[in-house]
Every structure is written in C-alpha cells, then in structure tokens.
Amino acid sequence: MTIDPVDLTAALIRCPSVTPAEAGALVLLEDMLSEAGFVCTRVDRNGTPNLFARWGEKGANKSLGFNGHTDVVPIGDAAAWTKDPFGGEIEDGILWGRGATDMKSGVAAFVAAAVDFVIQTPPQGAIVIAITGDEEGDALDGTTALLDWMHANNESMTDCIVGEPTSLDTMGDMMKIGRRGSLTGFFTAHGKQGHAAYPHRANNPVPAMARLIDQLARHTLDEGTAHFDPSTLAVTTFDTGNPATNVIPAECKATVNIRFNDAHETHDLIAWFEAKAQKMSEETGVSITVETKVTGDSFVTPPGAFVDLVANSVAAETGVTPELSTSGGTSDARFVKNHCPVVEVGLVGKTMHQVDERVPVEQIQTLKNIYSRLIRDYFA
C-alpha cells in the first residue's frame, strides 16, 4: 500500500471542510489509516470532529506524534477564484484549492510517509497521528480534546511534529521551535455624557482613554530574548460609537493586542494592564475597566536532539539549513507543548487563507520526503 501525497491532498481539498465541518476529510483519513494497520478513534467533542490514530503499542517508550488539521477557512468571494476552491485541480504542476497550503498538504504528506514506513520498516515504537477539525475556529474542542482524551486513555507522544506551513520563500528555509504568546486587552472608560459646550457638567472618558492607550503603546516591553524577537503591542481599536459632534460621550472603548515572548508570564501582563488602568482612573476620575483574552502562552522547544533531527531532515532533503524561528501567529503547537516537545515544519505558506490558495506539487512530495527521513531517523 503506497499513498501518493499529492493525490491525497487533492482528495482532501475536495472535502469542503470549512471549520468546523468534517465534510468527509476525517472519514477518508480514518479509512486509509485503518487499512494500513493504525488503530483509529474518533474523538469528537461538542460537535467538533477529531481523529486519533496509532500504529504500534500503546505506551511505547518511543512514540513520534503528528498534529494537524483538516478544517479550512471560508473561501471568501467564490467568483474571485481562478479555479474551483474545492476542486483539487492540478495544472502546470500546481495544485489549487482551499487547504492546499494550510494544511491538507501537510496532513497528506505525513500520512503518506507514515504509512510507507510502518509497512516497509515497522518501527520499534509507535506513531501517533492526531488530526482536528477545529484549528481555524475557536480551537476549544479540537487538539485540546484530543490531548484530554489521550491523557484519560494513557496514550502518549514522546515528541511531536505539527505540519503547519512554516517556510517563507523556499522550501525548508524556516521551521518553528516555539511561538509567541497572544494577549488581548479590552479597555472601557466610563464617563458622564454631556453637552460639548458645557464640558464641566460632563466627565469626558476620551482624553483619559487616549492617555492610557498612548502610555501602553509607547512602553517598551523588552529587548527580545535568546529565541524571540522583542514583544510587541498593537492598538487595534479606539472607539466611542458617538455620531454627534456636540455630545461628550459616556463611554469610550479601546483594544490592544500583545504578542509576547518568554520574558513574560501572562498573569504579569494582565496585572500591568490593570495597574495602568487603575492609575489613570485615579488621575482622571474616569473609571476604566479591563477584560482580557489569552489565545496562548509563549513557549520554546530548546535546540537539542529532537530539533536537530528535524533540521537535519529538512537540510538533507532540500539542501537548505532551516532558520529556527518563533515568529508568526499562534498554532495548535501551543497546546501540544504541554504534552511533549513540539516542532513545526511544513510548506511555503505564501497563499494560505488567500483567494486562489495553491501549492506546487513538487513541494508536497518534498515534504513527504522530509517526513519520511525524519521518521526513519527518529526510530533508527
């Protein structure tokens, strides 16, 4: 049994699995993996589809894991697409469709590599494949559900690969050994509405909020760390919802987002938000409240045996030494890192989430070769 990763990617693209719809993608993978001898279990939670598959003994001393997702973002304007977004068409060596880059190709490449390996060279250990349908959505019942189920059922991975598109310009030029954390602060300044001609009879929340947001935006969070660039803070909204030019509003809202490195703990940043809001409230008499949302904490898998193994596999198959990066947004690696060491390596991600998402088929085959070498060397 040999799986062509390009054909499998195309078949997965033809499953219109816009998050959190399954649309046949996990059924296809489960059938294929079961035929190759993997023990498969659906781990659906709250309507979110998830698939766990293991080849080898439960609790093996050495268990290589793969985490990925088959859900995709919406296509946007269908008329703007050159090809059918769920057609999986190949033309001039390019595979088109939603999920071609992010990340049905990564799932297909690893599944193809894993099936080849367990049939040709059964490893002393286990291979675990954990696929979710909720990475592009709220991510509440996807990889977290799989990890919860694994913990409850004594399933484990000793190391894990996440197949997100990590390369920038050429195949293999970057892999992720960590990710920044993400914290959003929602600030609300509560004043007193009044006539703009009589400001002394009102309590304008806008200047107080403006001063606070300026202080946050001008603050230097850090200068960067060994594996991370400096943390950043971006102001994303500032609004009163006030259409009248002669009315002082009663309320003003602003939102900021911090992408932070391993110099910070989430609770310390939240405490900083709250302290700055409290101080401004005391100075201006305008009550400012804060709500926060944490998308993920920062983490890093330090360079060592596993990171070197992945990097060497990439270099051997591409001729490129990958940069060890922690840049970019969040991924489900932020959940996996609580279970075992995790590294992300995948395709060039230039067209992910775009209209006309596409990938050269050569990249998919190269990614399968990287994963094949990685699996072989891992169990050598």
Active-site residue (options: 30, 135, 141, 344): 135
* 141 has catalytic annotation: no
C-alpha pair distances (Å), 341 with each of 38, 63, 103, 224, 248: 23, 12, 21, 22, 54
Please give the torsion angle defined by the CA atoms of residues 187, 193, 198 and 200, in that order, rounded to the nearest 10 degrees.
-60
DSSP string, 321-339: PPEEE--SS--THHHHTTT
Active-site residue (options: 22, 71, 262, 344): 71
Amino acid at 375: I
What 3-state DSSP class applies to 287?
A: strand
* 7 has catalytic annotation: no
* Cβ proximity of 269 and 195 under 8 Å: no
Paired with 279 in beta bridges are: none
How many residues make up the chain in this entry?
380
Burial class (CB in 10 A: 0-12, 13-18, 19+), 270: middle
Q: Count Cβ neighbours within 10 Å for each residue of 56-77 and write b for 16 or more, e otherwise.
A: beeebeebbbbbbbbbbbebee
Give the residue numbers marked as catalytic: 71, 135
